[in-house]
Chains A and B, each alone.
Chain A
Amino acid sequence: MRKINVSEIIDKVKEMCIKANYELGEDVLKKLQDAKDKEQSHIGKDILDKLILNANISKEKQMPMCQDTGMAVFFVEVGQDIYIEGGNLTEAINEGVRQGYKEGFLRKSVVNDPIIRKNTMDNTPAIIHYDLVDGDRLKISFTPKGFGSENMSGLKMLKPSDGIEGIKKFVLDVVKNAGANPCPPIVVGVGIGGTMEKACILAKKALFRKIGEYSSIKHIKKLEKELLDEINKTGIGPQGLGGDVTALSVNIEVFPTHIAGLPVAVNINCHAARHIEIEL
């Protein structure tokens, strides 16, 4: 049984919080560059240019690319042959967030209770989704999820008879309703199947996939391409001010579901599609 000490996890999580906020991934930067070349609207082109400039400034000055440094969301794969020593895994991740958001001068955006709303001042608790897997590795994926885009997400329990057309209509409705608010060009995470909560988790998980990478399932890849095409035809454009590039990518994750249902969740990410993963 492989041992991993919580101190190692705390340090790694701290670094991930800071790096994800300071340095936009190459996959996203490349897509923004492609988008700029494709965009016909003058305002849209100018905005995309400034977004690339912004990403360069944040990396160079080592400061957050966006002031909304998000709620900390993790997907953690725990190999069942690991022994975590020195403490509790969830607490270690939260401690990493606490230290990362403090030392990185990141904005603390979490309130302790959804109604009383007092800031916890350290951006905890994090949202953590665990998967128990084979082996003796610990894989931690992190995204600082901003709420300009999170607020624009949606879930619908479709009927099986709604089929592909129903899915497409719902995804497009969510994107159109979101308009300028989620800071387009957006990344659209879609979860199809499972139960109500499973679909939402799948939609979130879809946002962690590298931008530009399609689903390995043939008919889902086709749906991703068709949806991206239709979203970009809406004309919402960069920042919602009109143009050809409304989304950088549509990422769909699927799961088996019940004979009576077709849950579909749409989780929207802004252009700063921050995500980072490590393996211990």
Chain B
Amino acid sequence: MKEIKITTPLNDNIIKKLNAGDRVYITGTIYTARDAAHKRMVDSLKNGEGLPFDINNSIIYYVGPCPPKPGQVIGSAGPTTSYRMDDYTPILLKVGLKGMIGKGNRSKKVINSIVENNCVYFVAIGGAGALISSCIKSSEIIAYEDLGAEAIRKLYVEDLPVIVAIDSKGNNLYDVSLKNQE
């Protein structure tokens, strides 16, 4: 199992090198969005409006963090379950999103869209919110503030630990455990 350090924004060369099962440490800017924010972004696109950040080559982290204590950058910030975003994801991948961080398996439609658009799906450790928050160096709400925990945040992360779950070739780490169940 390889350990790879990458920096954002992503590009086709970085993505090509990532294989399911690789342990990856991400440094750079990423954006947060979960259920309600996804719905709004996709509605905006359908209405011909723009998105609140430049989605090209970007990574979205599915997280709804806890509020920060005084002096803290962000509260606990572990991944939320990704399948709830499945209906929206292919639309975002089509307009330039390159990577996602969440937890749990994705639908066939999303996996096909990951392959078609040369993208990558990472998983972070579900529940490890305190540990992950220590990798987040800055956090700023940039859109949908009224959604509270679900607002879109721009994060700067250093060595955020994730695992490649679905690579750009469509290899899926979850298939291993599914095979064991047969």
Contacts and interface: CB of A to CB of B under 8 A. Distances in A.
B181 A64 contact: no
Label chain A's interface by main secondary structure. Answer: loop
Contact of B128 (A54, A106, A179, A237): A54
A148 B75 contact: no
A107 B174 contact: no
Contacts of A176: 181
Interface in B8-42: 21, 36
Contact of A58 (B76, B148, B180): B76
B65 interface: yes
Interface in A167-185: 176, 179-181, 183
B127 A66 contact: yes
B180 A64 contact: no
Given A50-B128, A53-B131, A63 B180 contact: no
Interface string A14-33: 00000000000000000000
Contacts, number: 147
Interface stretch (B49-57, B77-85, B89-97, B107-115): B77-85
Given A241-B163, A242-B180, A67 B129 contact: yes
Interface residues of B, number: 44
Contacts of A68: 64, 78, 80, 129
B46 interface: no
A120 to B, nearest CB: 10
Interface string A24-48: 0000000000000000001100010
A42 B176 CA distance: 14
B89 to A, nearest CB: 16
B63 interface: yes
Given A63-B76, A67-B66, A106-B66, 15 more contacts: A43-B1, A51-B127, A54-B125, A55-B130, A64-B129, A67-B149, A69-B76, A105-B66, A105-B75, A107-B64, A121-B148, A179-B178, A180-B104, A241-B123, A242-B180
Instruction: Give 5 nearest A-B pairs by CB, closest first.
Output: A235-B180, A183-B126, A58-B130, A242-B177, A67-B76
Interface of A: 42-43, 47, 50-51, 53-55, 57-58, 61, 63-69, 105-109, 117, 119, 121, 148, 151, 176, 179-181, 183, 234-237, 239-243, 270-272
24 contacts: A54-B128, A54-B130, A54-B131, A55-B130, A63-B76, A63-B133, A64-B130, A65-B129, A67-B65, A67-B80, A67-B129, A108-B149, A121-B148, A179-B178, A180-B103, A180-B104, A180-B123, A180-B177, A183-B127, A234-B181, A241-B176, A242-B176, A243-B177, A271-B127
